[in-house]
Amino acid sequence: MDFQFTEEHDSLREMVRRFSETEMRPLVDEAEETERFPRGLFKRWADLGLLGARYPIADGGAGSDKISDCIIREEMARVCQSFAAVWSAHTHLGIWPIWRAGTAAQKRRFLAPALRGERISGFALSEPDGGSNIRALRTQARKVAGGYAISGSKTFITNAPIADFLLLAARTRPELTAESISLFILELPCRGVAISPLKKEGIRGSETGLIALEDAFVPDDCLLAEREGNYPVVLESLVENRVGVSANCLGMARAALEAADRYAHERIAHGRPIGQHQAVAHRLADMAAEIEAVRWLVYYGAWRVDRGDLDPATASKVKLIASETAVKATRDAMQILGGNGLMREYPVARFHRDALVYVIGEGTSEIQRNIIARAMGHLGGSR
């Protein structure tokens, strides 16, 4: 294991931190209150080169690496996980498979404008009857002249209410097998597609939708790679993104520790700052130690992505530990803030609500444990 941050990484972190503090933070309260994402951020992200960090220059990206991608996520999520979640659904879930498997024409038409912030994307996989069990998805794509007619439903889809296109998974054959799942680029608006916004407890400043599809027409050239049966691309995409969202978790956990640490210095109870009470000090010490461990794990995972040898079990270990630590750190911060932990005037309850999203989304903690256990030869897996 041999990795370290370069000068470019350090200056990227500094730039994203400054941008997040000065341009994102002032937008947070209104986005949380209205549950609307401030779309102008896409232009700023593009201007600053933040949308394509992980993609090659030849494809319209910035030509840096996964470590840079994780630095951006960490610093943005430290200020606002809602916005960082929108960024993640767009820069990874909606377009990574197009970059990985799309035709040259699909990259020109969808990937390039997405990296310029001109078109917003998202990824529609989960269904009301198929969340953890991806293979149970029922949305059907029926072959018709010149394309496919897609019918079914998708739920919990980040960015759906604001997206210009969605990468959508549907069956091109009736059997409930992985091989019969194909990926489509669904341009919006589209006749036969109705999107209803969902109200959420966490990441309220991101927009999430329920999608009903009834014979929605997608032309042949919007079938990913113009080839049916792309399930392995979905899996590859999800594995890499488990490291990505772990960097978001690191950002939220850090934000919680910073808020709690500050408060413990300032708040006086029983005649002294609460950080002088051992129970509070030890809680802070545990938070600091656990977050430090997550930092190493996240950047180790990113380094493995950059080397091209990240395996699914390692990605799941990173995501399991990072997401559970974010939930614990944000909960600990609420406890340290006492009554103020529940007040909207302080952001720690928001950090906690937001952290809960990643023990569910991108594969629940139980699913991460299943993947890790299977790689160990348990639960029907093989060594």
Ligand X SMILES: Cc1cc2nc3c(=O)[nH]c(=O)nc-3n(C[C@H](O)[C@H](O)[C@H](O)COP(=O)(O)OP(=O)(O)OC[C@H]3O[C@@H](n4cnc5c(N)ncnc54)[C@H](O)[C@@H]3O)c2cc1C
Report the catalytic residues: 362
Q: How far is the CB of 16 from ligand X (least distance, A)?
A: 23
Sign (positive or negative) of CA dihedral 193, 197, 200, 206: positive
What's the Cα-to-Cα distance from 229 to each of 62, 169, 176, 178, 184, rounded to whole Å? 30, 10, 12, 8, 10
Spatial distance between the Cα atoms of 30 and 38, rounded to a whole number of angstroms:
9
- Does residue 125 interact with ligand X by CB under 6 A? yes
Residue least distant from ligand X (Cβ): 131
- Does residue 81 interact with ligand X by CB under 6 A? no
Using CB under 6 A, pick the residue from 41, 80, 114, 124 that binds ligand X. 124
Spatial distance between the Cα atoms of 36 and 46, rounded to a whole number of angstroms:
20
Smaller CB separation from ligand X, 60 or 205: 205
Which has the closest alpha carbon to 209: 194, 193, 222, 196? 196
Encoded tokens for 77: 């999520």
Query: Which range of residues in 50-58, 68-76, 219-227, 354-362 is near ligand X by CB under 6 A?
Result: 354-362
Write the binding mask 140 to 169 for ligand X: x where contact by CB under 6 A, - elsewhere: ----------------xxx-----------
- Does residue 82 interact with ligand X by CB under 6 A? no
Write the binding mask 179 to 218 for ligand X: x where contact by CB under 6 A, - elsewhere: ---------------------x--x----x----------
Beta strands (DSSP E) in the chain are 121-124, 140-144, 147-158, 165-171, 181-187, 193-198, 208-219, 268-269, 272-273
Smaller CB separation from ligand X, 22 or 132: 132
Encoded tokens for 61: 């990206």
- Does residue 244 interact with ligand X by CB under 6 A? no
Using CB under 6 A, pick the residue from 41, 370, 371, 375 that binds ligand X. 370
Encoded tokens for 69: 């991608």
Using CB under 6 A, pick the residue from 28, 72, 357, 375 that binds ligand X. 357
Smaller CB separation from ligand X, 129 or 266: 129
Smaller CB separation from ligand X, 299 or 358: 358
Spatial distance between the Cα atoms of 201 and 244, rounded to a whole number of angstroms:
22
Write the binding mask 85 to 104 for ligand X: x where contact by CB under 6 A, - elsewhere: ----x---x-----------
Using CB under 6 A, pick the residue from 83, 123, 263, 303 that binds ligand X. 123
Contact 148, 193 (CB under 8 A): no
Smaller CB separation from ligand X, 67 or 163: 163
Q: Residue 272's CB: how many other CB atoms inside 10 A? A: 10
Residues 32-61 that bind ligand X (CB under 6 A): none
Kindly give the pairing relationship between strand 121-124 and strand 165-171.
Answer: parallel
Using CB under 6 A, pick the residue from 6, 34, 132, 196 that binds ligand X. 132
Query: Which range of residues in 122-130, 186-194, 295-303, 317-325 is near ligand X by CB under 6 A?
Result: 122-130
Which has the closest alpha carbon to 139: 163, 169, 175? 169
Site for ligand X (CB under 6 A): how many residues? 23
Smaller CB separation from ligand X, 68 or 208: 208
Burial of 277 from C-beta contacts in 10 A (0-12 / 13-18 / 19+): middle
Sign (positive or negative) of CA dihedral 72, 78, 84, 85: positive
Smaller CB separation from ligand X, 220 or 366: 366
For the chain, the C-alpha Rg in angstroms (whole number) is 21
Query: Which range of residues in 101-109, 124-132, 245-253, 308-316 is near ligand X by CB under 6 A?
Result: 124-132
Task: Return residues touching ligand X (CB under 6 A).
Answer: 89, 93, 122-126, 131-132, 156-158, 200, 203, 208, 357, 360-361, 363-364, 366-367, 370
